[in-house]
Amino acid sequence: MRLASLLLALLLTCTAASAQDATQAQVRKFDVTVSPRDYVAAPASLKKLFPKGFPTGVGSGLAFAGKEKDGSLLFLSVTDRGPNADSPKFVGSPGEKGLPTKMFPAPGFHPAVATIKVKGNAASVVKMTPIRGLDGKPVTGLPPAKGEHGSTGETPLDVNLKVLGHDQQGIDPEGIAIDSRRGTLWLSDEYGPFLMELDRKTGQIVRKLAPGAGLPSILAKRQPNRGAEGVAVTPSGKVVAAVQSILDTDGKVKDSKAAFTRLVEYDPDTDKTRMLAYPIDETAYKRTADAKIGDVTAVSDTQFLIVEQGEGRDGKMRNLVYLVDISRASALPDLPLETTGLGGMVPARKWLVADLVALGWTAEKAEGMALVDARTIALASDNDFGLAAVLDKPAQDKNGKTVTKPDDYTVGRDGQSGKLMLDGKPVDTTISLKPSGEKTAMWLLTLPKPVTEYMPK
C-alpha cells in the first residue's frame, strides 16, 4: 500500500511538471562562432590586443532561410557598418562648436550578409557575402557627408582620431528579410533610413529607397543612427520597415511626448508606401525617445512580431517581443505627428509574447529576430565587433567632476596627433580600444502556443 502511494505521488509530480513545462517558454542558447578568416583586420597599433582582428558582428537582423536534410537550421543575418566606437567632438577651427564624430578603426570594412548554420548545439557563420552598391563596388560603413541622403552629421575619425573621408554610398544595415516571390533580399538601414533590395547571389543593391526618393519625406527626421532598424516581407510581397525610435520633428526630441514610432509599408510592384503607428510602452521609459525597435518579422500580411527595447525607468534594459496587428491601423500622413499627436488616427494593436529578460536574456539588445515555425522564434544580439572604447586618465571639469564620456571632449585640426581637449584646454586623457569579450548570442525560443494565439479572439 505504501509503495503504491509513493508511485502515485511520483506520477502526480511528473504530471504537474509536464503541465508546467507546457505553459512555459523553452530556450536553447548559442554563441555564434565566426571563423578567423572572417575577422576584420585591426590596425597595426591594435595588433597585440586583437591579434586575429575584430570578431565580426553578425547579429544585426535575422531571417530564417530554411531547414536542411540533416535538421540544421539556416539563417541570414547582416553586419552593421563595422567596428566603431564613441569619440570626441571635432572642432575644425577655433571658436567652432564641436561636431559629433565616430571612430572607425577599420574604415575599409565592407558590410556583408552572413549565413548562419545552427546544427546540434552549435551556431556558426558559414558564409559571408559583401554588399555591393548600385555600381557593383563593395560599399563601406562610413557615413555619407552632410547634405547627402543618410547623413548623420558625424565626422568619421580613424583610430588615431584623424579625420577620414565620408562615403556617399555608405550604409549601416540593421535588418534583413527574404523576398521569396522575387528571389531577392531586403535590407533596412539606420543612416538614411534606406530600404534596399539586394541580388541574393551577388549581394549587389538593385534598388535603394530614401526619404523623399521612394520613402516618405518625414523619415528624414529620424534621430541620427536610429533609422530603419528592422525589415520584413509579408506573404503577399509587401515590405515593412520599422523605424527604430520616435522621429525628431522639431529638434527637441529629448522633451518629446510622442508615444509611437513608425512602420513603413512599401509595395515593390506599385512603388506605393504607407505609414502606420506602432504604440511604444511610453510609461515604461523616462523619455519616449529612449524606446527602440530591435527587429520585425512577418507572421501574416497584417501580423508581425516586433522587439521593443530600451532603458526603462528603473535603469534596466527591456527586451520584449510583441505580436502586432495592423489590420485596423490608420495610414499616417507625411506630417510631423510626433509634435502634434495622432489625433483620431488609430495605431496598431499589440500583445506581449515574451519578456526576454525574464527568460534570461543578458545581452544589451536583441537586434535580430526570425520566425522559424508557428511556435519557434530565433533571436540574435550584436557583439559590436568585440571592442569597447575606454577613457584613460579621465579629466575633471571646472566643477571638479570627472568627465567619463568621450563626446564631452574635443579634438581638432591642431590636434592631428589625437590630443584631447576639455573646455578648450589640452588634457592627458586618451581613448583606447580594448577587447570587450562580448559574443554574438543566439536563442531558439519555443513558445507554449503558436504566436497567433497571443492575439485575443
Residue 416, pLDDT above cutoff 80: no
Residue 364, pLDDT above cutoff 60: yes
pLDDT in tens, 197-238: 999 999 999 999 999 999 999 999 999 999 999 999 999 999
Nearest to 418, CA basis, from 407, 429, 403, 405: 429
Nearest to 418, CA basis, from 161, 164, 193: 161
Contact 393, 45 (CB under 8 A): no
* Runs of H (alpha helix) within 112-180: none
Band the pLDDT of 22: cuts 50, 70, 90: low
* pLDDT value at residue 362: 95
* pLDDT value at residue 93: 76
Measured CA to CA, the distance from residue 172 to residue 178 in angstroms comes to: 18
* pLDDT value at residue 1: 47
Residue 412, pLDDT above cutoff 90: no
* pLDDT value at residue 16: 42
Contacts of 297 (CB under 8 A, 6+ apart): 62, 63, 177, 230, 232, 304, 305, 369, 370, 371
Band the pLDDT of 87: cuts 50, 70, 90: very high
* pLDDT value at residue 118: 98
Exposed, middle or buried: residue 207 (CB in 10 Å: 0-12, 13-18, 19+)?
A: middle
Measured CA to CA, the distance from residue 401 to residue 232 in angstroms comes to: 46
36-44: Cβ within 8 A, 24+ apart: 38/125, 38/128, 40/82, 40/83, 40/106, 40/109, 40/385, 41/106, 42/105, 42/106, 43/105, 43/106, 43/158, 43/159
- If one compares 351 and 419, the residue with the highest pLDDT of the two is 351
pLDDT in tens, 247-285: 999 999 999 999 999 999 999 999 999 999 999 999 999
The grid coordinates listed for 319 are: 527586451
Overall average pLDDT of the 299-313 stretch: 97
Measured CA to CA, the distance from residue 160 to residue 44 in angstroms comes to: 11
Band the pLDDT of 160: cuts 50, 70, 90: very high
Contact 297, 334 (CB under 8 A): no
* pLDDT value at residue 3: 47
* pLDDT value at residue 44: 95
Overall average pLDDT of the 55-71 stretch: 96
Measured CA to CA, the distance from residue 434 to residue 209 in angstroms comes to: 37
pLDDT in tens, 428-452: 999 999 999 999 999 999 999 999 9
Overall average pLDDT of the 59-75 stretch: 97
* pLDDT value at residue 378: 98
* pLDDT value at residue 10: 45
Strand order in 272-279's β-sheet?
228-233, 239-243, 260-267, 272-279
* pLDDT value at residue 414: 53
Measured CA to CA, the distance from residue 288 to residue 226 in angstroms comes to: 14
Overall average pLDDT of the 307-311 stretch: 97
Residue 55, pLDDT above cutoff 70: yes
The grid coordinates listed for 359 are: 527568460
Residue 88, pLDDT above cutoff 70: yes
Q: What mean pLDDT value characterizes the chain?
A: 93
Residue 68, pLDDT above cutoff 50: yes
